[in-house]
């Protein structure tokens, strides 16, 4: 069998292996998914390598072969080999003038660099790929390139630039009806707007932070399965409301987060929400409610074996006892002052009456 026949058969099998790996990965069968992913690279390396030496493939077939070898090496974490194969593939596609495959190979070179943390190099590859994809009208490819550029900007903590890339990618994905692409970009947008909210909050730009968190929440609500992300943002929004003195709003947001955490079975999230509700009740001097909430949060932290959270809840309970005692003393002091004033007033009244007589 010639390399041409091998490529036709084996690359089809590799594609099927990767497709099946996606299916079982979605089903949560991660070990099986990993096994299927590795079958393709193993076939390429073991069964086709010798054919490359004995056959005389056509330029397109040879370029495709090098491209697939690059994917195989990349999948196995052999990034230097992957880059070498992709570069050979790129030269082949350039010689035959196949711009679509050339752009795809540049994209893979970008991914390969990203995997190694070479972000500036990765950005250069993706920009080159994007330019070609724009020129040939490959909109799905454009959306993918824009998303990767957003990811790189986000990794470099250039959050506003990342947001711009993501919105461009989302607009294309929506226009062409790419639902999977939309979900991926929306998830990234949710993350970057959340980060922008964190940055604004750290800078004490509270209103701006709230706007970013609200935007992140709306984006995550579009991704129906991202309830854990929604719960996290609601905690942030609750903290902002509490800082602004809007205690009822803060309580509502914390309760919404708690409800989501209970629904998805996130005990760690429940412990955090309960703790924040307890601290809020303490700030409002609702002592019994605060004590009950903090105790429940402590039990939840102990059950989830989270020593850091448990220590925080124990400190909060100690603080609650101190503040409650202090508030009790203050209340008694105020009552004592009030009683003294009343006594003085009565004494003064009696004295005035005696003087009149």
Distance CA 121, CA 183 (A): 27
Residue 350 belongs to a domain: no
| Host domain of residue 195 | 160-173+188-218
Share of the chain above pLDDT 70, in %: 76
Residue 25 belongs to a domain: yes
pLDDT at 43 over 70: no
For the segment 200-232, what is each residue's pLDDT rounded down to a tens digit? 988 888 899 999 999 899 888 887 778 988 999
For residues 207 and 252, membership in a common domain is answered with: no
pLDDT at 80 over 50: yes
CB–CB of 208/191 below 8 Å? no
List, in sequence order, the alpha helices (H) in the chain. 3-26, 30-43, 49-54, 59-75, 79-96, 99-115, 119-136, 139-155, 159-176, 179-202, 206-222, 227-243, 247-264, 267-283, 287-303, 307-356
Residue 255 belongs to a domain: yes
What is the CB neighbour count within 10 angstroms for residue 27?
10
Q: How many CA atoms are closer than 13 Å to the CA of 263, on its beta-carbon side?
A: 12
For residues 269 and 322, membership in a common domain is answered with: yes
Which of 75, 92, 123 terminates a domain? The answer is 75
Q: At what angle do helices 227-243 and 206-222 cross, to 10 degrees?
A: 160
Which of 75, 98, 119 terminates a domain? The answer is 75
Closest CA to 192 of 144, 227, 143, 150: 150
Distance CA 94, CA 89 (A): 9
Distance CA 139, CA 87 (A): 24
Distances (CA, A) of 163 to 152, 212, 251: 11, 11, 30
Residue 232 belongs to a domain: no
pLDDT at 37 over 80: no
CB–CB of 317/295 below 8 Å? yes
Residue 243 belongs to a domain: no
Residue 102 belongs to a domain: no
For residues 204 and 254, membership in a common domain is answered with: no
Closest CA to 47 of 25, 21, 68, 18: 68
Query: How much is the pLDDT for 8?
Result: 39
For residues 69 and 17, membership in a common domain is answered with: yes
What is the CB neighbour count within 10 angstroms for residue 1?
9
For residues 206 and 254, membership in a common domain is answered with: no
For residues 15 and 60, membership in a common domain is answered with: yes
pLDDT at 140 over 90: yes
Distance CA 279, CA 254 (A): 11
For the segment 221-278, what is each residue's pLDDT rounded down to a tens digit? 887 778 988 999 999 999 999 989 999 999 999 999 999 999 999 999 999 999 999 9
Query: How much is the pLDDT for 341?
Result: 59
State the average pLDDT over residues 44-50.
45
What's the chain's average pLDDT?
81
Q: Per the structure, how many domains does the chain have?
A: 3
Residue 346 belongs to a domain: no
The two structure tokens encoding residue 178: 């790419």
For residues 65 and 8, membership in a common domain is answered with: yes
Distance CA 98, CA 95 (A): 8
For residues 252 and 212, membership in a common domain is answered with: no
For residues 8 and 57, membership in a common domain is answered with: yes
Distance CA 143, CA 147 (A): 6
Distance CA 193, CA 184 (A): 14
């Amino acid at each position: 069998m010639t390399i041409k026949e091998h490529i036709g058969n084996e690359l089809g099998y590799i594609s099927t292996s990767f497709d099946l790996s996606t299916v079982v990965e979605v089903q949560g069968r991660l070990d099986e998914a990993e096994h299927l992913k590795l079958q393709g690279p193993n076939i390429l390396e073991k069964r086709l390598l010798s054919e490359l030496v004995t056959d005389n493939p056509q330029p397109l077939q040879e370029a495709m072969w090098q491209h697939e070898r690059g994917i195989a090496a990349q999948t196995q974490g052999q990034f230097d080999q992957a880059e070498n194969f992709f570069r050979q593939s790129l030269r082949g596609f350039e010689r035959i003038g196949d711009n679509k495959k050339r752009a795809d190979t540049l994209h893979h070179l970008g991914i390969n660099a990203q995997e190694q943390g070479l972000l500036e190099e990765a950005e250069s590859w993706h920009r080159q790929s994007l330019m070609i994809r724009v020129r040939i009208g490959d909109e799905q490819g454009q959306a993918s390139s824009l998303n990767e550029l957003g990811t790189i900007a986000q990794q470099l903590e250039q959050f506003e630039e990342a947001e711009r890339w993501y919105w461009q990618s989302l607009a294309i994905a929506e226009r062409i009806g790419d639902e999977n692409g939309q979900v991926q970009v929306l998830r990234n947008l949710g993350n970057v707007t959340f980060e922008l909210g964190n940055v604004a909050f750290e800078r004490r730009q509270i209103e701006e932070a709230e706007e970013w968190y609200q935007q992140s929440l709306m984006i995550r609500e579009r991704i129906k399965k991202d309830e854990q992300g929604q719960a996290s943002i609601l905690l942030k929004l609750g903290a902002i409301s509490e800082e602004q003195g809007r205690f009822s709003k803060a309580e509502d947001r914390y309760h919404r987060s708690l409800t989501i955490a209970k629904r998805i079975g996130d005990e760690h999230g429940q412990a955090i929400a309960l703790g924040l509700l307890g601290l809020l009740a303490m700030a409002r001097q609702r002592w019994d409610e605060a004590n009950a909430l903090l105790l429940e949060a402590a039990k939840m932290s102990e059950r989830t074996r989270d020593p850091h959270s448990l220590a925080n809840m124990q400190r909060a309970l100690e603080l609650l006892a101190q503040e409650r005692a202090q508030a009790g003393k203050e209340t008694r002091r105020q009552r004592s002052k009030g009683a003294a004033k009343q006594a003085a007033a009565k004494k003064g009244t009696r004295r005035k009456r005696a003087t009149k007589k």
